[in-house]
Amino acid sequence: MIRRAALVLVALAALFGPGPLRAAERVDLALVLAVDSSGSVNQRRFEQQRDGYARALVSKQVLDAIGSGDNKRIAVTYFEWSDGRRMARILPWMIVDGEPAARKAADTIRNHRRQLVGDTCIACAIDEGMKLFEEMTYETDRKVLDISGDGESNIGGSLEEARERALVADITINGLPIETYYEPGLARYYEQNVIGGPGSFLIVARGFDDFARAVAAKLVREIAELR
């Protein structure tokens, strides 16, 4: 009798139990935005970076680029970095598939308070970006880690080794170096030591006042290159 009851339960579970697991949502691009919040970035410059990303996400150029993709959506996350002990995840992974979602992401980025000030560890930023890709639940043919900053690494592990780890994981690293009076050769440094992977590129901001233009141009290019 007990055996028969057990067989009945198994049969009911087969009939009414959970169906197959839902396939992961597919996106045209998974984009990690890694923003410098080290000590060389004063509060005004920090706000220029933060607001530049927020404005770019809701710009017509970026929204048009997203809408022209095969899946018409991308996945985005945003964190701020300094050194190995200072990372702040601000925007969790989310789908941007039009203006309402873009505005939600932009508001999250724009309305948070700065949490970090420290040394500059680009290798640490790359490693943190890799962790975020490992946690991502979306499917995509292209993963891009987008690093913006105003200085060279001055602490932490090997930048060359961190970059190689990312490239082995099929992550493309793009750069947005912010060249200032103190770092006139930063674009060359990023080109030689930071960016890498298929189609990798950098767009230079000529000072923090040029950041909003540079980030909008970079996002459009990253999305458009999917086609």
Strands 87-96 and 74-81, by their bridges, are antiparallel
pLDDT single digits (tens) 128-166: 999 999 999 999 999 999 999 999 999 888 999 999 999
pLDDT band at 226 (very low <50, low <70, confident <90, very high): low
Give me the mean pLDDT over the 44-68 stretch.
91
Segments of 14-142 assigned E as strands: 30-36, 74-81, 87-96
What values do phi and psi take at 80, rounded to 5? -115, 145
Return mean pLDDT, the chain. 88
Give me the mean pLDDT over the 168-197 stretch.
94
Residue 9 has pLDDT above 50, yes or no: no
Residue 21 has pLDDT above 70, yes or no: no
Whether residue 21 lies inside any domain: the answer is: no
What gap in Å lies between CA 220 and CA 99, rounded to an integer?
15
Residue 224 has pLDDT above 80, yes or no: no
Whether residue 154 lies inside any domain: the answer is: yes
Whether residue 16 lies inside any domain: the answer is: no
Among 49, 39, 63, 8, residue whose Cα is nearest residue 120: 39
User: H helices within 68-113, ranges in order?
Assistant: 99-110
Residue 206: what pLDDT?
92
pLDDT single digits (tens) 62-80: 999 999 999 999 999 999 9
Give me the mean pLDDT over the 196-205 stretch.
95
pLDDT single digits (tens) 98-112: 999 999 999 999 999
Whether residue 3 lies inside any domain: the answer is: no
CATH number at residue 140: 3.40.50.410
The count of structural domains within the chain is 1
Type of residue at 115: Q
Residue 48: what pLDDT?
86
Whether residue 8 lies inside any domain: the answer is: no
Residue 32 bridge partners (DSSP): 77, 145
Whether residue 10 lies inside any domain: the answer is: no
Of residues 114 and 58, more confidence is placed in: 58
Whether residue 116 lies inside any domain: the answer is: yes
Using alpha carbons, list the distances in angstroms from residue 135 to 129, 167, 197: 10, 17, 21
Residue 190: what pLDDT?
97
Residue holding tokens 């702040």?
Answer: 88
| Domain span including residue 182 | 29-224
Q: What is the pTM of this model?
A: 0.87
Residue 10 has pLDDT above 50, yes or no: no
Among 140, 149, 151, residue whose Cα is nearest residue 174: 149
Whether residue 15 lies inside any domain: the answer is: no
Whether 49 and 207 have beta carbons less than 8 Å apart is answered as no
